[in-house]
Amino acid sequence: MPLSRILLALCISLHFGAYLNAKQPLAESFLLNGNAKAGSIALAERLKEHPDDSQARFGLGVIQFFGAVENLGQSFYRYGLRDVSNSVGNMIPLLRLPVPQNPNPETLTYEDSRRILQSFVDELNVADQTLAKLDDPDVKLPLHITEIKLDFIGNGSEPVMLQTILISMRATRESRELFVVFDRADATWLRGYCHLLSAMCEFVLAHDGQEIFDATAQLFFQKVKSPFPFLQEGRRVFDFVGQFDVADAIAFIHLIRMPVKEPERMKVALQHLELVLEYSGEMWQLTMAETDNDHEWIPNPKQQGELGLGVSQAMIDSWLMATKEGTEVLQGKRLIPFWRGNEKRGVNLRRVFTEPTPFDLVLWIQGTAAAPYLETGDTTRPEVWTRLQQVFRGELIVFALWFN
């Protein structure tokens, strides 16, 4: 038997022993040691023997989610993800993962980049399917979440604390210890996030990004396969303090004009977005029915949340009104008001996904890319979005990232 399998088996047996002795959630015993892979195997085995162990099922879904993020980080490390904190890559959430710098990265191809995203989507789907089988209304999963570790290198030598990841992803502004008792509502919340991330990836995979990769991938990775090797060596046009060429950043924005490669993926992305809004409503329904006050992740107005952010009934009401409005927009029942000229028609967002055309960011901002989707009909009500802004008092983005 290979040494790696022997060590994996030993790791699993030790964690099982700790779980049985201390009653610590089995999932946490792996997450705190950065052993998501071993944890996934151990919890799957636990469920084979005890299929009614709802905490194990919840824990498996959580570990599978973190495992997907960890594997994404390991792929980024393998191909030498750059520190994008001061570059255009900072605008792309997934590239903000605090992956250690690889001193000897492999060369990234465009095909590799698509494979990485597809693997991430596949693993998110596994986590979602596990959580979908969770039907215990009283399930609890206590976790010291900021102490969770992810192994982005793949050998356990330099684990990254989840707290560091949350700060890099701008999910929190400060370093603090968080102990949360996740419940049934939070499982639905996590399913929503699985679908949100999947929607983003499917949108990218629906388009042909070969041109933008060939010209600008060096902004994000140390070694890339490109027909323009001079972009990765020697002189620059507008050097930004030795970190990247401003001309490359401009080219990146200019080249966000991608042809449709796999149109069916746009429909899949739409389905993911519809599920995000559906699970948001379900999450709040479950949250509002809670009567305890046990280290809440997302509290109702009578509970206290561990993040220290209060949630009022007005916030929940306005959020649910906005998700209902958003659902009608995705269904094509309401249109997005057009932003140019005296045009009375609106944009049918559903048709953007079901009848995709090449995506050109600049032309969408200008308005001409929206022209094929203009229709006469009811537009989304501005008072819904105005109220949302007013109720959240200028912190809508912070709460939106939290609420999902």
Residue 388 contacts residue 396 (beta carbons within 8 Å): yes
Give the C-alpha separation, 139 to 119, whole Å.
Answer: 29
d(CA 64, CA 19): 19
* Beta strand spans in 176-237 (E): 179-183
**Is residue 88's pLDDT more than 90?**
no
Residue 185 · residue 283 · CB < 8 Å: yes
CA angle 246, 248, 252 (to 5 degrees): 115
pLDDT of residue 22: 46
Q: Which of 1, 131, 135, 126 is nearest to 71 (CA)?
A: 126
Write the DSSP symbol of residue 359.
E
How much is the pLDDT for 2? 54
CA distance linking residue 127 with residue 172, whole number of Å: 24
What pLDDT, on a 0 to 100 scale, did the predictor assign at position 193? Answer: 97
pLDDT at 310 over 60: yes
- From the CB of residue 21, how many other CB atoms can be counted at a distance below 10 Å? 8
pLDDT greater than 70 at residue 6: no
* Measured distance CA(45)–CA(48) in Å, rounded: 5
* Residue whose pair of structure tokens reads 């561990």 in the numeric block: 306
Tokens of 105: 């990265």
Please report which confidence band the pLDDT of residue 21 belongs to, taking 50, 70 and 90 as the band edges: very low
Higher pLDDT, 257 or 88: 257
From 67-81, 113-127, 149-163, the region with the lowest mean pLDDT: 149-163
Q: Which pLDDT does position 334 carry in this prediction?
A: 98
Q: Determine the Cα–Cα distance for residues 228 and 214; give it in Å rounded to an integer.
A: 7
Q: Which two tokens stand for residue 393?
A: 């008092």
Does residue 302 contact residue 395 with C-beta atoms inside 8 Å? no
pLDDT score, position 170: 65
Mean pLDDT of the chain: 91
The vertex-365 CA angle with 87 and 194, nearest 5°, equals 65
